[in-house]
Amino acid sequence: MERLYTENLQIAYDKRIIVDSLNIEIPKGEITALVGANGSGKSTILKTMARLIKPKQGAVILDGKKIHQEPTKQIAKELAILPQNPEAPEGLTVAELIRYGRSPHQTGFKTVSAQDTEIIDWALKMTSLTDLKERPLDHLSGGQRQRAWIAMALAQDTEILFLDEPTTFLDMTHQLDVMNILKELNQTEQKTIVMVVHDLNHASRYASHMIAIKDGKVAASGVPQDVMTAPMLEEVFNVKADILIDPRSGVPICIPYETCSGCEIKDVVRGLDYANVLSI
């Protein structure tokens, strides 16, 4: 049994049940991607596992303990979360933001210790923000701001890191920057990373474990080769797609060509020689 898992988890908003009887395990030291259509419940699951939402029934178990029954400060030393579209006070600098990540480890007047400074400097270095540490957040590009928020989560110094669509609203370059930072954190620091990912090809490339969610239930889980399949895409996303193998990484990638509601339309795209297209 993994150190982090759910046990018959039920999540509801008011009386509407979003997730019911969910049992998933998060592999230690790996990157897990939660994927699914809009409204499937993947972000709700992430927030509940990160203790932002209290379940109606069932539990999230970390090291044999129900996290919603544990002290907040203790859980904050075990896991960190970067939500969608985080906000900070106007004028806050990069270094000041990152310093907030040390709060769970501080006592009394919350003075910054030598250990705090060391970890903050490490977080700045990991996210390539050392030269920008005195820059106000509102003077940064979107990609730089996202790296700053990741650095704050890193400064929390937890083994487990949750991220809710960390590349939302970023251009292609900054998306790759963020995903590569997460990959490096996993490989060099052995961080267990759980993220909701909108881009399926990013999920397949960067995660070693994928969980596909449909209507609050697990439709498929496992390594990308087992999850990124044409039947899964049809069931979960209601699209027809061709599955190819990325010649660089060896992982599956998908090329959607039709929604299932329009599958009777003559398929022209499938006739393309994708292997030649990818080799250009």
Please name the residue that has the structure tokens 């292997």: 275
Both tokens of 56, joined, read 């109606």
Q: How far apart are CA 198 and CA 165, in angstroms?
A: 6
Could you tell me the pLDDT band of residue 198, with boundaries at 50, 70 and 90? Answer: very high
pLDDT in tens, 37-61: 999 999 999 999 999 999 999 999 9
Structural domains for the chain: 4-78+158-279 (3.40.50.300)
Q: How far apart are CA 132 and CA 140, in angstroms?
A: 9
Best CA proximity match to 252, nearest among 231, 238, 272, 280:
231
pLDDT in tens, 132-180: 999 999 999 999 999 999 999 999 999 999 999 999 889 999 999 999 9
Determine the longest span between alpha carbons in the chain, in angstroms: 69
- Assess whether pLDDT exceeds 90 at residue 280: no
